[in-house]
Structure 1
Amino acid sequence: MLFCPKCNNLMISSGGQMKCRRCGYVQAIESEEDMKITATRIEKEITIVDDEEKAQTLPTTNVLCPECGNTLAFWWLRQLRSADESEVRFFRCTKCGHTWREYD
C-alpha cells in the first residue's frame, strides 16, 4: 500500500514498515508486492466553456471587453501548443458573452 488508508497521504518505507508522515499511521511490509509501485496513467479532463452555466463558476477579472466596453470578464487558461510554451489566457465578457484570448 502506497497511500495511507486514514488520510490518503503518500506513505514512505522505513525499517520494514510503511509510515505516513502526515498522521503517523504505520503498517508492516509483509511482502515485496507491498513495495511495488505500479504506473498509472492519469488523464486530465479538459473543460471547454461553451455553456453560460459553466462560465458562472469561473474566476473573474477586470479587463476591457473589445466588443462592448464592459470591464468584467471570466477567464481560464489552456495549453494550446507544446508543453514548453506558455499557456493562453481566454476571457469571456460577463455582459455580452464575447470570448477573446490574450497573447504574450
Structure 2
Amino acid sequence: MASISFCKECNNLLYPREDKVHHVLMYACRNCPYEEETHNPCVYKHDLIVAAKETAGVTQDLETDPTLPRSNITCPRCHRTLVFQRHALHSGHQESVFFGDQGRRAQTSMTLFYNCTNCHRTFLDPKLTQRRKEQAAQQQ
C-alpha cells in the first residue's frame, strides 16, 4: 500500500520523481532540495468518481448579492416573468439570480441554477431541463 512521505528538512509533502540517471523512483520535496529513494517502486493513482446529483447549495439571501449575474426568466412556481432592470436590486423590480453548480465533475457540463427574487425558489436552467427530457425520450 502506498504511504505519504514528508520532507525531513521542511516537513512538506514529498512527491514521486524519477531519477533519470539511475532509473529509480525518488520522493522529492518541491520546496527544498531534499529527496530520498522510495522503499516501494510502485506509484498508485486513485481517482474517485462520485455520482453526485447537482446541488444548489446554500441559496439563502442570494438576491441581495450584487456580484451575481441577473436574468430575465419566468419562475416555474409563481409564474411571474421576472423583468431585469439594471440598478433595480432593491427597487421592487423582479428578477432572477443565477449561479453555477457547486459540484466539481470532469465529465459533465456546468449546471445553472436560478433563484427567483419574488418567491425565493431555486430552480434549474429551463433549457437544460428540456434538453435532458429530450435526451431521455431518445434513449427509450
- Read off the aligned partner of 2:69 and give its amino acid letter: T
Where is the helix percentage greater, Structure 1 or Structure 2?
2
Query: Normalising by the residue count of structure 2, what TM-score does the alignment of the two structures yield?
Result: 0.44
Matches within 5 A, 1:42-53: 42-44=48-50, 46=52, 48-49=55-56
CA deviations over 1:22-42 (Å, ceiling 9, x no partner): 3125231143x1x31123241
Query: Normalising by the residue count of structure 1, what TM-score does the alignment of the two structures yield?
Result: 0.53
Question: 2:17 pairs with 12, 29, 52, which one?
Answer: 12
Structure 2: state its 5+ residue gaps.
83-93, 129-140
Aligned positions, number: 94
Give the aligned CA root-mean-square deviation in angstroms.
4.0
- Read off the aligned partner of 1:55 and give its amino acid letter: T
For residues 9 and 30 of structure 1, what CA distance do their matches in structure 2 show? 11
Question: 2:100 pairs with 71, 76, 88, which one?
Answer: 76
Greater Cα radius of gyration, structure 1 or 2: 2
1:92 corresponds to 2:97: no
Question: 1:61 pairs with 65, 69, 72, which one?
Answer: 69
User: For 2:46, what is the secondary structure of its paired residue?
Assistant: coil
For residues 97 and 33 of structure 2, what CA distance do their matches in structure 1 show? 46
Contact 1:75/1:90 (8 A) holds in 2:
yes
Contact 1:64/1:71 (8 A) holds in 2:
yes
**Structure 1 residue 101: deviation in Å?**
0.6
- Read off the aligned partner of 1:27 and give its amino acid letter: E
Where is the strand percentage greater, Structure 1 or Structure 2?
1
Structure 1: state its 5+ residue gaps.
none
Aligned identity (percent) is 11
Contact 1:11/1:19 (8 A) holds in 2:
yes
- Read off the aligned partner of 2:31 and give its amino acid letter: C
